[in-house]
């Protein structure tokens, strides 16, 4: 099931193309056919084109918004009746996904701004897929890649900055800026590419940490709380690693710098986060070479490099520990729980990677069209409206960057998910104030949860302040460093002839001799099998 099949099929019929557009089409065809005519054709068609689109909008014409998002990363509606979420917030809101989020957006936009918007929604499987699609000329207006990909897009100047009014908290419909968590907002404001903060171009969608899903019966929490478990010979063939260079490189650096990251003076230093960021984003030759050795050890030791199968292997008990993103960790824990198989999630003591998926507008797609940009920003805001945030979080299981602002719906949803039954005996007071109000000691944001939630789903979805104190963003590598690290990754994954030992070569030699002998027998079969008379 992909969200893509929900794409609206409501393009206007061809006959509806206005008469003014016909010369445009014609000249485009001419231009394609005769390169020499390009200039004149363009010069003639340009004013007409603008005129056509402006007059079209004055008549209440549609705005087309092309959105690309991850597969299964938005509520598709069609909930069963009993799925309705009855929250215990101030207004006792009931959350129910009747239509898909995209349909609801189209309706809401028409009701709010009086403009029809036609969303062409498509999906992608990896950041690289999205990037390659864009390179091949597939144009989008609004996309939702991971942080390293939107950093790359910012660096390449391919994004359209968000408008100033998007950040105006006084506008009622600006749900994003009114609701986003201060913690997240701070990260988007302080991380920069070429001197420009992320927040100039990107608005957050989902976020999380990376860590280790483990089986607490076989592995202690202490062991799972260090990156070293991924290369520990004690668990040979029992752990899985991510099949992408960014996450695996981060884990390798975590092992490489373990001593420094855990030293008391490092942990207690005031600028710990900056220091971790510096340490975990190093790309000098020495670091890359050391990481390569560690990754080779990890390759020998691991059950598999996986990009999707790790969740199933964890749930079916094939492996004991699994390097995972927090969102997928929640999914894995949920799935295992159905079979009464209890798993847990740990975030390494050394440091962790805090990751984001964010909405960004593509400059070539928006192409200076103010109406389109308005619709794109409205879409981000609509997705950030607290009730819609809950619908998306319920559907995909990840954690939204939205804390809710004035609304307490999102906190109520966290409590609905993880709050213990009233008669439960073994409970803990779990603070989530750091995310919701900036302070874990805020008494308004404490969830009374069952005690095992301290290292399970609640912990994965809303990590406490002490985890976020060691959670850093993995920076964007420029082209040169990117290639260096990728070459390192290829070296890890390839079969290197130099790794063969003398006895290996002897075996290969023996094999070759046998094959040659077989060929010889075959060629000389007439003489060998002739009957002696």
Partner 1 sequence: MKIFRFSRKQLCIPYALFLICFVVLPLAVIVYYAFTDGSGRFTLENLLSFFTNGNTIGTLCYSIVVAAVVTVVCLVVAYPVAYVLARSGLKRGPVLLMLFILPMWINFTLRVTALKEILTLLEGNLSLHPFLNTVIAMTYDFLPFMIMPLYTTLLQLDKSLLEAASDLGAGPAAVFFRVTLPLSMPGVVSGITMTFLPAMTNYVILDMIYNSTYIMGSLIGSYFNIYDWHNGSMISLILFAVICVVSIITGGGDQNDAKNRGAVL
* Comparison of 261 and 336: residue with beta carbon closer to partner 1: 336
Closest separation between CB of residue 209 and partner 1, Å? 24
Name which of 268 and 503 has its Cβ closer to partner 1.
503
Distance (Å, whole) CA 146 – CA 143: 10
In DSSP terms, which residues pair with 427 in a beta bridge?
450
CB of 236 vs partner 1, minimal distance in Å: 8
Q: How far is the CB of 512 from partner 1 (least distance, A)?
A: 11
Rounded to whole angstroms, the Cα distance separating 448 from 451 reads 9
Name which of 110 and 289 has its Cβ closer to partner 1: 289
Q: Which is nearer to partner 1, 190 or 316 (CB)?
A: 316
- Specify burial of residue 79 (Cβ count, 10 A radius: 0-12, 13-18, 19+): middle
Neighbours of 308 (CB within 10 A): 9
- Residue number, 68 or 117, with CB nearest to partner 1: 68
Q: How far is the CB of 391 from partner 1 (least distance, A)?
A: 32
Which three-class secondary structure state does DSSP give residue 425? coil
To partner 1, the closest distance from the beta carbon of 54 in angstroms equals: 38
Q: State which H helix or E strand residue 352 sits in.
A: strand 352-362
Q: Select 42 or 507, whichever has its Cβ closest to partner 1.
A: 507
Q: How far is the CB of 495 from partner 1 (least distance, A)?
A: 4
Question: Which residues are near partner 1 by CB under 8 A?
Answer: 128, 131-132, 135, 236-238, 243, 299, 302-306, 309, 318, 482-483, 486, 489-491, 493-499, 525-526, 529-531, 533
Closest CB to partner 1 among 34 and 490?
Answer: 490
| Helix boundaries (H) for 79-141 | 101-113, 127-135
Nearer to partner 1, 243 or 442 (CB): 243
**Cβ–Cβ under 8 Å, residues 118 and 10:** yes
* Extended beta strands in 440-502, E state: 446-450, 471-472
Burial of 473 (0-12, 13-18, 19+ CB in 10 A): buried
Q: Dump the DSSP string for 359-382.
A: EEEEHHHHTT-HHHHHHHHHHHHH
Q: H or E element: which one contains 192?
A: strand 192-193
Look up residue 256 and give its two tokens: 């490489």
CA separation for the pair 205, 296 (Å, rounded): 35
User: In whole angstroms, how close is the CB of 519 to partner 1 at the nearest point?
Assistant: 12
Give 402's strand partners.
Answer: 180
Q: How far is the CB of 477 from partner 1 (least distance, A)?
A: 11
């Amino acid at each position: 099931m992909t969200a893509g099949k929900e794409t609206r099929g409501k393009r206007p019929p061809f006959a509806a193309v206005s008469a003014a557009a016909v010369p445009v089409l014609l000249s485009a065809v001419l231009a394609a056919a005769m390169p020499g005519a390009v200039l004149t054709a363009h010069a003639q068609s340009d004013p007409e084109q603008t005129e056509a689109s402006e007059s079209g909008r004055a008549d209440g014409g549609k705005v087309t918004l092309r959105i690309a998002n991850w597969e299964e990363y938005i509520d598709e509606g069609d909930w069963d009746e009993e799925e309705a979420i009855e929250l215990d917030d101030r207004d006792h809101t009931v959350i129910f996904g009747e239509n898909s989020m995209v349909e609801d957006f189209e309706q809401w936009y028409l009701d709010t701004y009086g403009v029809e918007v036609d969303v062409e929604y498509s999906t992608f499987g990896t950041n690289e897929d999205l990037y390659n699609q864009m390179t091949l000329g597939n144009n989008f207006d609004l996309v939702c890649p991971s942080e390293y990909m939107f950093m790359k897009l910012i660096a390449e100047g391919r994004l359209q900055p968000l408008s100033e009014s998007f950040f105006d908290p006084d506008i009622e419909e600006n749900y994003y800026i009114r609701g986003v968590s201060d913690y997240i907002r701070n990260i988007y404001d302080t991380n920069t590419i070429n001197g420009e903060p992320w927040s100039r171009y990107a608005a957050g969608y989902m976020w999380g940490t990376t860590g280790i899903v483990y089986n607490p019966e076989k592995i202690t929490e202490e062991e799972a709380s260090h990156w070293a478990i991924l290369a520990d010979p004690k668990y040979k063939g029992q752990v899985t690693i991510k099949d992408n260079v960014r996450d695996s490189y981060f884990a390798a650096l975590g092992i490489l710098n373990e001593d420094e990251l855990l030293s008391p003076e490092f942990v207690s230093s005031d600028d710990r986060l900056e220091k971790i960021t510096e340490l975990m984003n190093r790309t000098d030759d020495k670091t890359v070479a050391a990481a390569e050795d560690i990754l080779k050890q990890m390759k020998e030791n691991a059950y598999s490099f996986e990009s999707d199968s790790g969740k199933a292997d964890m749930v079916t008990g094939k492996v004991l520990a699994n390097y995972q993103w927090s969102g997928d960790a929640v999914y894995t824990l949920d799935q295992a729980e159905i079979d009464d198989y209890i798993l847990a999630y740990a975030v390494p003591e050394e440091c962790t990677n805090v990751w984001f998926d964010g909405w960004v507008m593509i400059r070539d797609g928006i192409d200076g069209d103010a109406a389109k940009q308005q619709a794109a920003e409205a879409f981000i805001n609509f997705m950030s409206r607290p009730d819609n945030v809950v619908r998306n979080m319920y559907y995909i299981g990840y954690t939204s960057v939205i804390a809710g602002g004035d609304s307490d719906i999102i906190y109520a949803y966290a409590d609905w998910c993880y709050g213990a039954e009233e008669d439960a005996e073994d409970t803990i007071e779990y603070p989530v104030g750091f995310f919701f109000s900036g302070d874990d000691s805020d008494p308004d944001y404490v969830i009374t949860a069952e005690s095992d939630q301290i290292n399970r789903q609640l912990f994965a979805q809303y990590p406490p302040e002490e985890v976020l104190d060691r959670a850093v963003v993995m920076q964007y590598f420029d082209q040169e460093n990117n290639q260096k690290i990728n070459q390192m990754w290829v070296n890890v994954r390839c079969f290197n002839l130099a790794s063969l030992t003398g006895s290996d070569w002897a075996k290969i030699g023996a094999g070759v001799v046998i094959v040659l002998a077989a060929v010889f027998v075959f060629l000389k079969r007439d003489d060998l099998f002739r009957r002696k008379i």
